[in-house]
């Protein structure tokens, strides 16, 4: 996958994850959860996800399901 596309996919994953947290987590947990997620992203999780996706051929996004398939041979 091209680096720019991988970054866009990661951005979509982050947006969906944050939206799902806002919709499902109790209000007293939301702020601390979103802060913790933001902290992980700042520490490099975003770049790890992007690098992972750059090396994968097929990424399939459906509704609330994200499926990453690695067809590389070991």
Whole-prediction pTM value?
0.65
Cα(9)–Cα(32) distance, integer angstroms: 25
Predicted confidence (pLDDT) per residue in 19-72, tens digit:
888 888 888 888 888 888 888 888 888 888 888 888 877 766 665 665 656 666
What is the per-residue pLDDT for 67?
61
pLDDT of 16 > 60? The answer is yes
Q: How many Cα atoms within 13 Å fall on the side-chain side of residue 36?
A: 7
């Amino acid at each position: 996958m091209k680096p720019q596309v991988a970054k866009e996919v990661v951005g979509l994953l982050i947006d969906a994850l944050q939206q799902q947290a806002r919709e499902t987590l109790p209000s007293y947990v939301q702020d601390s959860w979103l802060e913790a997620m933001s902290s992980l992203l700042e520490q490099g999780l975003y770049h790890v996800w992007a690098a992972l996706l750059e090396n994968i051929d097929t990424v399939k996004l459906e509704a609330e399901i994200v499926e990453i398939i690695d067809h590389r041979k070991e």
